[in-house]
Amino acid sequence: MRGVFLIALLGVTACAETTKAVDDVARRGAKAAVQETLVTRFPAVPKSVVIPFSDCIIDNASAREIGEFAKDAVIGVDETTVVLVQNVLQRSETQQCIAKAGLAALGA
C-alpha cells in the first residue's frame, strides 16, 4: 500500500512540475506580447517602465488572458491584443501595481 501511495505522490509531483514549466513558458510568451504591445501601441509609455508595467499586466491577467497573450506572442500582436491589454489595465489591482512600478522607476 505504501508503494502505491509513493508512486501516486511522485506522479502528482511530476505533474505539478510539468504544469509549472508550461505555465512559465506561457507567461514568458505572454509577457513578450504585452511588452511588444506597450512599445508599439502605447507610445506614451516610457521605455524604462515597459518591463515593470508588463509584469503588472501579466500578474493581474487571468489564465485565459495569459493564454491569449501567449498565442499573440506566436502569431503577432494586433488590435485584439491591444483591447486585452486595455482591459487588464483598467483593473484597480493593475493600476495600483503600475503606480508603484512607475514610482519605483522614477526613483531609480
pLDDT for 35-55, tens place per residue? 999 999 999 999 999 999 999
User: Which sign, positive or negative, has the C-alpha torsion 85, 89, 93, 95?
Assistant: positive
Residue 79 lies inside a defined structural domain of this protein: yes
Mean pLDDT of 23-31: 86
pTM, 2 dp:
0.78
Residue 41 lies inside a defined structural domain of this protein: yes
User: Structural domain tally of the chain?
Assistant: 1
Q: Which three cell numbers stand for residue 58?
A: 501579466
Scan for cell 501567449, then name that residue: 70
Residue 1 lies inside a defined structural domain of this protein: no
Domain around 85: 27-107
